[in-house]
Amino acid sequence: MSQVSIRKIVKSYEGDVQAVKGIDLEIEDHEFVVLVGPSGCGKSTTLRMIAGLEEITSGEIWIGGEVVNDVPPRDRDIAMVFQNYALYPHMSVFENMAFGLKLRKFSKDEIKRRVDEAATMLDIKMLLDRKPKALSGGQRQRVAMGRAIVRNPKVFLFDEPLSNLDAKLRVQMRTEIKKVHQLVPTTTVYVTHDQVEAMTLADRVVVMNHGVIEQVGAPQELYHNPQTRFVAGFIGSPAMNFLPCRLEEAAGALRIRLSDKLAFPVPENRTARYRPHVGKSSLVLGLRPEHITETKRHPEPGQHDFDMMIDVVEPMGMETLVYFTIQGVEASGRVNPNAGAVAMQSMTLRADLNNMHLIDDTTGKVL
Amino acid sequence: MADGTMVMGSGAATSPAPRRVGSLKKLGRRRATTALLLCAPLILLVISLKIYPTFYAVFLSLLDRKMNEFVGLDNYIFLLSRPSFQLVIFQSCLFALTAVMLKALIGFILAHLMHNIRGRNQRIWRGLLLVPWVIPLSLSTLTWWWLFDPSYSALNWTLEWLGFDPIPFLGTTWNARIAVIAVNTWFGAPFFMIMYLAALKSVPEQLYEAAAIDGASAWQKLIYITLPMMRNIILITVLYSLIVTFADFDIVRILTNGGPQDSTHLFATYAFTVGIQSGNIPRGASVSLFMLPVLATLAFFVLRDVLKRSKEIST
């Protein structure tokens, strides 16, 4: 029983600044939920409210079936991994990991057993006598995780735990965290600003912006069916292309017009859904770079070829990014490295409209 | 590198490299000389006011009263056998240890209170509480002397007004000893406060948050986080204060002049009495040097420990 339930929580600071504006979230037992969003979106504040490190202005937080609004952090049965690790510099690795157990008056044998077990799992057994200063960033990160694991708490909280690591180590530790969660499936709330971390780790991703939840869903769902322009742009790298467009109707068929020369027919299965928006002035076509590719064989239904002057070519090895401009708006596509993309030359690209999104820019909603 | 050597290459193309190295060397030598010259006043000051007097005092303490004959450690051996000097050792230790302990404790409590006052108010309180440490000690001790005066004392006047008997603050042995310790504590506690406040501010907030989540109460945070994190500052301030308090002169000289019946004499005031007032300079020097070996040894071990720990915990 370690569900976490967040009900209409609000966090206001002096001067009426609202960091979190009344969010609701249900986190199931054993679930790995990632809160993701740009800095200042309220994700860390939400996590700190769950931890009890920030007071809640209004609303309720439930952990394991109990309201914990007025319960101090030490009685919430949670463990937290901080961005800067927050290891006690004057204690050895063993003492750091044992500290919580020692305060909870566990027997020496039990403390040793648990620390050894966690240290073995995290491969830090040979570091137990060292002080944090003598550890590398990755090792410190493991110790911080070990300190959380030994407590066997109801909920793990991670506050941007990988942001201080270099890119290579970050990927490695991401896998470690996933492995640990598979071994110890404790309910986890993980905060990050990195959408790749969110996508790779989460059972469910919560995208936050300006103190509200934009969308909650499984990583694939957020990727394929974003509900707002913010989510569409935030999830996925390189980001989705947003191209201002008009929706035209001619002889019962709909067309997305990007410029005088460029228009794509709307796939038939979307015609009914988009018809009410014909003629609207604030429409934006959302199409991911991976859905703008080089041409190969015959186009399938919903796929359309178009010629474009390529501005910049970025070879990435396994693929090549091409950048071009439509009506003054920069867009990108992902093509095969052997497709012969050359900067400042025209190239025939293929847009896969089956994966398009039509966005109403005034509301920010995906239609 | 904006020295003249860099532009020589173009005009004197024949052998610029050796000449450049040569002039750089010269510059290096010149820079070292300049540095030495700039430091010279300070070095001279330290040599003339610290090192020379120390060695001269050691030399003096090994002479006889007329400063003609070398007598070895006779002055020290004689002093140790005298009950009056044994009393001075006791009093100095009592004074220094009690006062430093009280200063450290009060400073620690004040620093914590101060740390919890937010914003501008903290600056105001910090300024007010630093006042005793900023006023010249001899002036503030004179004020205390007035306060302790048997006839015109504001303290006794208040006690009498409340219906109590007046207290001869400086008139009896233990009252005088306590009064001297109290004034030293009043003067020195703000220094501890400011040092501890700085140390408190340097403890990362996240350590307290981690401890709170680990299950620590406020008391446990103090014992397991605050104190170990402040250990170096505590050790250094206590060491520094011990050295300064053992050498204290002004308070006793102004408040009691060593009385009543020599019961408040410290090393410094006793050395002054013996060396300057009684004219036995070698013996006065021996008195003033008495604690040097003890404090030097203590300083050595404390500073070694501080160095070791700061290497361990700095990130």
Same domain, B156 and B275: yes
Alpha carbon of B192: minimum distance to chain A alpha carbons (Å): 22
Say whether A88 and B224 touch across the interface (CB within 8 A).
Answer: yes
Does any domain span residue B251? yes
Q: Which residues of A touch B212 (CB under 8 A)?
A: 52-53, 72-74
Is residue B6 one of the residues assigned to a domain?
Answer: yes
Q: Is residue B64 part of a domain?
A: no
Whether residues A52 and B228 touch (CB distance < 8 A) is answered with: no
- Looking at the structure, do residues B119 and B229 belong to the same domain, yes or no? yes
In the numeric block, which tokens belong to residue A281? 């002035």
Report the gap between the CA of A73 and the closest CA in chain B (Å).
5
Say yes or no for a CB contact (<8 Å) between A133 and B217: no
Of B207, B216, B312, which has the smallest distance from its Cβ to A74's Cβ? B216
Could you tell me if residue B281 is inside a domain? yes
Coil, strand or helix: which one is B68? coil
- Are B121 and B224 members of one domain? yes
Q: What predicted TM-score, i.e. pTM, was given to this entire model?
A: 0.80
Cβ pair B216:A103 closer than 8 A: yes
Same domain? For B11 and B122 the reply is no
Boundaries of domain holding B11: 2-59
Same domain membership, residue B253 and residue B118 = yes
- A217 min Cα distance to partner chain B (Å): 29
B206 contacts in A (CB within 8 Å)?
82, 84, 86
B68 in any annotated domain: no
Q: How far is the C-alpha of B270 from the C-alpha of B268, rounded, in Å?
A: 5
CB-closest option in A51, A88, A103 to B215: A103
Q: Are residues B13 and B113 in the same domain?
A: no
B125 and B168, same domain (yes or no): yes
pLDDT value at residue B315: 56
Number of domains forming the structure of chain B: 2
CB–CB contact A74 B217 (8 Å): yes
User: In the A/B pair of chains, how many CB contacts fall below 8 A?
Assistant: 72
Is the per-residue pLDDT at B11 higher than 50?
Answer: no
First to last CA, chain A: 38
What is the per-residue pLDDT across B264-309, written as a single tens digit (0 to 9) for each?
999 999 999 998 898 889 999 999 898 888 889 999 999 998 888 8
pLDDT in tens, chain A (367 residues): 688 988 999 988 887 788 888 889 999 999 999 999 888 888 899 999 999 999 899 999 999 888 989 999 989 989 999 988 899 999 999 999 999 999 999 999 999 999 999 998 888 999 999 999 999 888 998 899 899 989 889 999 999 888 888 888 888 888 988 888 888 889 999 999 988 889 999 999 999 988 889 999 999 999 999 999 999 988 888 889 998 888 888 877 888 888 888 888 888 888 888 888 888 888 899 999 999 998 887 878 888 888 888 999 999 989 999 999 988 889 999 999 888 888 898 888 998 988 899 998 888 888 8
B118 occurs within a structural domain: yes
Q: Quick one: pLDDT at residue A250? A: 82
Which residues, at least 6 apart from A191, have a Cβ–Cβ distance to it below 8 Å?
A34, A35, A36, A43, A44, A46, A47, A157, A158, A159, A160
Which residue shows structure tokens 């499984």? A218
Give how far A100 is from chain B: nearest CA, Å: 4
ipTM (interface pTM): 0.84
**Residue A157, CB half-sphere, CA atoms under 13 Å: how many?**
25
- Digit-coded pLDDT (tens) for A279-333: 888 889 999 999 999 888 787 888 888 888 899 999 998 999 999 998 888 999 9
The reply to whether B34 and B170 lie within a common domain is: no
- Same-domain pairing of B9 and B90: no
B-chain residue closest to A77, CA distance: B213
Question: Is residue B259 located within the same domain as residue B130?
Answer: yes
CB contact under 8 A, B207 and A132: no
CATH number for the domain harbouring residue B132: 1.10.3720.10
Q: Are B203 and B132 found together in one domain?
A: yes
Task: Tell me whether residues B315 and A74 touch, CB distance under 8 A.
Answer: no
**Is B18 contained in some domain?**
yes
Which residues in chain A have Cβ-Cβ distances shorter than 8 Å to B224? 88, 99
Angle at B209 (CA atoms; ends B208, B213), nearest 5 degrees: 115
* B163 and B134 fall within a common domain: yes
Residue B67 falls within a domain, yes or no? Answer: no
